Each structure stands twice: as structure tokens, then as C-alpha cells.
Structure 1
């Protein structure tokens, strides 16, 4: 969801909530309208310096950093302030207070997840991808990333899920239960047009648990399909892509060739 789509959805709910919270708030006290916004799904992170008689708060809506501005009368305005040139006024503050800590938390969650290495463990750039062994776009991603992976510039870390077909989970079991999951994953991608690796007869409980955890993480990060990629850009900021990157965006994800 874009920033402005998020803003539209939140403002509709916030307008009704703010109407019931139009009492003057003392500076330094937590405005009551924030409780109303939190009950509607926002997470208030921290107050930051503002002007124009507004109190400003960094917040999170789903996985989206967003600002909340509280007026002297106690109303809340949820969204983005822009200056006369159309520039977002509080973008850097939201990045500092919300986006960076949230990105670091996401990265830690992915590091702690069960993933299959694709490439050299010494490759300097790490890209996480939620992958299904039956996903044609995952296979396309695998094919198109070989120049970076084979050159030792990027390591892909496949967080395996089983969501595409009935036997997806069983194919994940074949990959994860093997002595060399990386080689088994490569075999699946190389033989994708021929059906990939054979599906295991059953999914062991430990692998079923991994699949459930990985799928839950994928959903928590706002992804609804595969491939779904998470990487750090040149500034170290955690970025996400849902679906196969298009055009030059693959170079953004993977870095210099």
C-alpha cells in the first residue's frame, strides 16, 4: 500500500475518532486522541519536535511509517506534511524514529528464520527472498540473478514457503531434509520446467513448523505472494519488493553487476 493510500484509509477513521477527542491537551501530556488512534490499529512510537502549534508523533500503520499531528484543540491529523515545493517535511525524522528501527527488527527476524543459502556465504550483499519451489516467478528470479550470485557479489537467502500448489510443502520438505539443501534448491530451479525436485511423501513435523513460521513472517511483513524480497540499499536502509523486480529495479535490489 502506498503512503497516500495508507493516509486515505487512516484519515477516514481518524476523522471520526478525532471528533470525540477535541479537548484541550496540556503540553507534555499524552493527548487522548492517540489512544483512540491506537485502538484503530496505529502504533505510536515517539513524539518529535514540530512547529505551527502542532505536536508531532512518529507512528506505524502496518509496516508503514507515518506521522500524527495533534492540534491545540486535541484533534489528530494523520499523514504527510509537505512544504511549498512539495517536499515531505518530516521524512528524515520518520526515517530516524520509525523506518530504521523497524527495518533493523525485520532484518533480525529474517536472520533468525530458517533459510537456504544460494551463493557464497562470503558474498557481501545479502538478499532475502520468500520462495516457493513451484513458483514460476521465483524460478525467473533465480535465473536472472545468476550473474550476481555466480560472481560472488550477492548471496540469496531463500526463506521457503509452501503456498503455490498442493505439493509445494512436500517439495520444501525434500529440499530442507536433504544433506545439502542449497544443492537441492539449485536442482529444483535447474529442473523447474521438468517439474523440479520430487515431492516428499510426507512433511515431517519439524519442517511443517518451519513452513508455518516462515509463512507467518511473510504475512507479517505485508507480503501475500512469492517471490518477496528484502534487502538493504546503498544507505543501509531495509527495502522490500513484492513480486519479481521489473526492469532496472533488479539492479537496485542486487546492486552493481
Structure 2
């Protein structure tokens, strides 16, 4: 089911809202992401079924999805997995977000700045090698799934247990429906 309102692709300047479609991803992909993705957890941290969101820090659609996810933080554990389609600002910001002491605060401030057109958080271009490797591995993970745009959501629906995925941003109600939460 296509619920997205937009997505950013590798090589894109952030596009106007582009149609996005659900990606055909199965349980093995969910398990692979769960085992290998390096991200930061927010929301209901004790939740047994995390929702993985692969995102590029320079993608405005990812910012819209972040904002849409905030009302669900009391019910859902989200693991935000930063990727970098380019090695410039995205890579530095992804590393900064991964190492933030308060990821919710850092991500909220970053997305507010990005959506206001001011480029997001300031981040040092001097990146610790382990953080750079983690972001590059996350980016390769996204590509290995056959996905070429973000935000990319991978989760298990709470009601059905079915693995669900979506490319693109979506409003809170549609996100809750995809995830099987009320």
C-alpha cells in the first residue's frame, strides 16, 4: 500500500513531494537490519518490536517522518539508522546524531533547522573512523535491500506480526496504521 508523501533518492536534490510506494521486503530483511544496522533508539525503549527507519540527515522527507513519529514515541520504539547518500554534510551529521548524548533533542533540533531551510545541525567534518564506518555500512545495508530512497521504514505490524515497509514520509495516522498501533 502506497502511503508515502515523498522520499529522497541518491543523487537527488531534495525533490518536491514524490510518490513513494511500499517496498517488497520480507522477514529476513527485517532480521538483517535488526542484526547489523547502527542507529539510535527513541520512544518506548522496552518495546519488543522495534521500528527501523533508515534516513539521510539532509532529506527533508525524513524530517517530516521524524515529526510524524513523535506522537507515537509513547507506544513505539524507533531505531533511527542514519545513512549518507553523499559524503559531505550527510556523513558528518549522521555521525553527530549517532554519537549524540540526547538523540531525541539532537534529532529534533536538527530536523527543525533542516525543515526551516537552514541546513540542519552543525557537525564537525572530522569524523571518528568507527562512526564513519557505521554510517557507510548503514548506507550499504540500504542499498543491499534494493532500496534507493529514504526515509525507509521496516517494522513488524503489531496486530498481524507481518513485516511491513514503506519508502517515504507519511502522516502520523498512516504511520500508526502501518505499524498496527492505535
Which band: TM-score by shorter chain? 0.7 to 0.9
Unmatched runs of 5 consecutive residues or more in structure 2 = 1-22
Corresponding residue SS for 1:213: helix
Equivalent residue pairs, number: 156
User: Is residue 161–residue 214 contact of structure 1 (8 Å, CA) maintained in 2?
Assistant: yes
Q: Contact 1:135/1:164 (CA < 8 Å) preserved in 2?
A: no
Deviation at 1:190, TM superposition (A): 3.3
Scaled by the length of structure 2, the TM-score of the pair is: 0.74
Distance 1:253 1:188 in 2: 26
Secondary structure, counterpart of 1:130 in structure 2: strand
Q: Cα offset for 1:246?
A: 6.5
Structure 1: tracts of 5 or more residues without a match: 1-62, 65-98
Counterparts of 1:37-76 in structure 2, within 5 Å, are: none
Paired position in structure 2 for 1:200: 124
Residue pair 2:42, 2:103 contacting (<8 A) in 1 also: no
Q: Secondary structure at the match of 1:145?
A: helix
Match of 1:136 among 36, 52, 60: 60
CA contact (8 A) 1:124 1:154 kept: no
Q: Distance in 1 between matches of 2:125 and 2:105?
A: 20
SS at 2:149 equivalent: coil
Q: Displacement, 1:187?
A: 2.5
The structure 2 residue matched to 1:178, chosen from 97, 100, 120, is: 100
Shift of 1:199: 2.0
RMSD in angstroms over aligned alpha carbons?
2.5
What is the alpha-carbon distance in structure 2 between the residues aligned to residue 163 and residue 190 of structure 1? 20
* Largest Rg, 1 or 2: 1
CA displacement 1:93-113 (0-9 Å, x = unmatched): xxxxxx8xx51x322222222
Shift of 1:256: 3.0
Residue aligning to 1:231? 155
User: Contact conserved, 1:128 with 1:229, CA < 8 A, in 2?
Assistant: yes
Deviation sequence 1:94-137 (CA, Å, 0-9, x none): xxxxx8xx51x322222222111121302455211101111100
Q: Distance in 1 between matches of 2:43 and 2:141?
A: 23
2:68–2:170 contact (8 Å) kept in structure 1:
no
Spell out, residue by residue over 1:27-80, the C-alpha distance to the aligned partner (whole angstroms, 9 max, x if none): xxxxxxxxxxxxxxxxxxxxxxxxxxxxxxxxxxxx96xxxxxxxxxxxxxxxx
SS in 2 for 1:137: helix
When normalised by structure 1's length, the TM-score is 0.54
